Structure 1
Amino acid sequence: MGASQSNTNFMKIYNNKEFSDVIATVGTPSKGKKSYHLHQAIIRTFSEPLDTKCRAAPIEMGRKRITIDSWDHTIMDIVFRWMYGQNDLSGQQLDLSGVTILIKVAQELEVEGLRQAALKNAVNIATSSIPTMHCTDEHWATYWNTAETVCGLTNMKNFEDIDILFELMEKLPIDKIQLYGARFKRLEESDIERLMFLVSAAFGKIVEKTLCMNCQKLSVGEVTRSDSSRCSCCSTPLPASK
């Protein structure tokens, strides 16, 4: 139970009536329903909830019949394809809303590998919305809204989730990782502890890369009063301190 990722591609038999022993009717009243010809050996291995559902399902014409009416069949199609070995989500063209739903489905069905693959997809969507130079505060507000949404999808007790989240900060211009004024107030009001954690961790990485072990032990005041005249990254002369 609970396989995280398929090691073999079974797409040749996916939704193939000839070899199936499960018929799954999937969909919602608003989006319509669709039936899939599936295989117990695959779906029950990947999902304990589906295993339980199959155990209790009636048999008709030699096949188990199950119903999944909580989710849109377009999302469930991605879930089933993942189980059968199609593990690349980059071609699915999901927006953040779609990825959010996919993560929720993966959690409900306990398909762990899919949940984290979807989270990586969400991070890619967020980082792709990082504004270019000379953008307005509104553009940056859109990015931070997206970043906060992605943070809300994670489990901070899961170290793999944390590693995935770090990409939100790794591609962000350092001069935008700032906690002051309206931005700081907004973070407090939105109570996004995950984003605060990422920001502080990003600063920690900057410190580790720019200060030696001895200087890291100095107080903030001592460090900021440093008489260094060049950038520690590219050695460009810095403007004189006021």
Structure 2
Amino acid sequence: MTEGNAGPQAGLLQLLSNREYADIIATVGTGDIKQYYLHQAIVCPNSTYFTEACKQPADQAGLKCLSLPNIQTFSFDIAIRWIYGDKDIIKNNNQVIENFYNVLNTAKMLGLEDLRVAVQKANLADKAIVAKALKAAGDVEGFWDVLENTCLANSMKDWVHFRSFIKDVIQDEVFPLRLILDIAMDTDKGFLAALMLERSNNLLRYYPCWKCGGQKKPSYAAMKTEPFSHASCASSKLINDEQLGDYLSKSLYTPAVFSTSSNLHLLNT
């Protein structure tokens, strides 16, 4: 934390520990229990969890008493500071990356979509640095471990962020479809395989037709107006990044994509 932020952050911590103006008491954790004094006017507009939880009646003192035993105090600290305006809390914060899954799950539980995306992007940026360092050092096993483990924390709505991660890490390297298909056969690695397929297809300008699975080589400019289909198969409905990710994931398990005669030479490379 920089000295310039020390004042506002100290004021925030003081506010969260002051019961006088709070109308929510949140008890968080199991062993390391901590109480937070919160304010409905701030937390409810920003969190779907607090919006629902605060519908319960207040106690005699006018307080909403909430219990969150399944959330760790560290990740709740991050979430609450984020809600109260400290958007720099995850920047250059190694502890957030070390506790990535806890912070990510807390953001999901509290309905903090903007925090969830920010934490996901911060983790991807960190893992890209690690993967590229391993690749430069010739540590092939370590490189693939980072890619596989990172892509386990996936969501189709984060496709565009994972796409940037793969592009940054793989760069202009084209992997054989046989390797991608082998990766796809592992239950936990289909998302990674779909990302690799899209990246390789981008470099080769090859796409399986959206409708029939046959080969199509559109120009890059035409990709948004003719979304991966032959003219005879064309659909007027454009596809977004989430639909594209879902399509590519499914195409990895569609024999037609890999069995057309035009693709057989790629399988053997």
Distance 1:87 1:94, change over 3 A: same
Letter in 1 for 2:166: M
Q: Distance in 1 between matches of 2:98 and 2:180?
A: 24
Q: Take 1:23 and 1:102, find their aligned partners in 2: how far apart are those partners? A: 21
- State the match for 1:38 in structure 2: 38
CA, structure 1 residues 213+47, in 2 after alignment: closer, same or farther (shift >3 Å)? closer
Distance in 1 (CA, whole Å) between partners of 2:34 and 2:98 is 22
- Name the SS of the counterpart of 2:151 in structure 1: helix
Note if 1:50 corresponds to 2:26: no
Is the CA contact 2:181–2:193 (under 8 Å) kept in the aligned structure 1? no
Greater fraction of residues in helix: 2
For 2:190, which of 173, 185, 193 is the aligned residue? 193
Asked if the contact 2:72–2:102 (Cα under 8 Å) also holds between the matched residues in 1, the reply is: no
Relative to 1, partners in 2 of residues 1:188 and 1:222: Cα closer, same or farther, differing over 3 Å? closer
Decide which of 133, 137, 140 is 1:137's aligned counterpart.
Answer: 140
User: Could you tell me which of 119, 136, 147 is aligned with 2:150?
Assistant: 147
- Work out the percentage of aligned pairs sharing the same amino acid: 20
Letter of the 2:75 counterpart: I
2-structure distance, mates of 1:11, 1:19: 17
d(CA) in 2 for partners of 1:185, 1:141: 14
Q: Does 1:207 align with 2:204?
A: yes
SS of aligned partner of 2:16: coil
Aligned match for 1:166, one of 141, 163, 167: 163
The structural deviation recorded for 1:119 is 0.9
Q: Give me the whole-angstrom Cα distance separating, in 2, the residues matched to 1:97 and 1:107.
A: 18
Question: How far 1:28 sits from its partner (Å)?
Answer: 2.0
AA partner of residue 203 (structure 1)? S
Q: 1:121 — aligned with what?
A: 122
Letter in 2 for 1:26: V
CA–CA separation in structure 2 for the residues paired with 1:80 and 1:58: 21
Are the aligned partners of 1:11 and 1:81 in contact in 2 as well (CA < 8 Å)? Answer: no
Shift of 1:23: 1.7
Counterpart amino acid of residue 138 in structure 2: C
> Retained in 1: the 8 A contact 2:175–2:200?
no
The alignment partner of 1:171 has SS state of: helix
Residue 20 (structure 1) shift: 2.0
Residue of structure 1 equivalent to 2:74: 74
Query: How many Å apart are 1:182 and its aligned residue?
Result: 7.0
Please tell me whether the aligned partners of residues 127 and 150 of structure 2 are also in contact (alpha carbons under 8 angstroms).
yes
Aligned in 2, Cα 1:47/1:76: closer, same or farther, shift over 3 Å? same
2:63 aligned with 1:90: no
Q: Distance in 1 between matches of 2:179 and 2:162?
A: 24
TM-score (norm. length: structure 1): 0.70
Cα drift, residue 147 of structure 1:
2.8
TM-score (norm 2): 0.64
RMSD: 3.4
The whole-number CA distance in structure 1 between the counterparts of 2:124 and 2:9 is: 28
Question: 1:91 offset after TM fit, Å?
Answer: 3.4
What's the offset of the Cα at 1:47?
A: 1.6
Q: Where does structure 2 lack aligned partners over 5 or more consecutive residues?
A: 1-7, 206-216, 223-229, 231-261
In the TM superposition, 1:103-114 aligns within 5 A as 103-114=104-115
Structure 1: segments with no counterpart, 5+ residues: 1-8, 224-242
Contact 1:24 1:38 in 2 (8 A): yes
Q: 1:146 to 1:174 in 2, by over 3 A?
A: same
Matched positions, count: 204
Q: Residues 139 and 191 of structure 1: is their aligned pair in 2 closer, same or farther, counting only changes over 3 Å?
A: closer
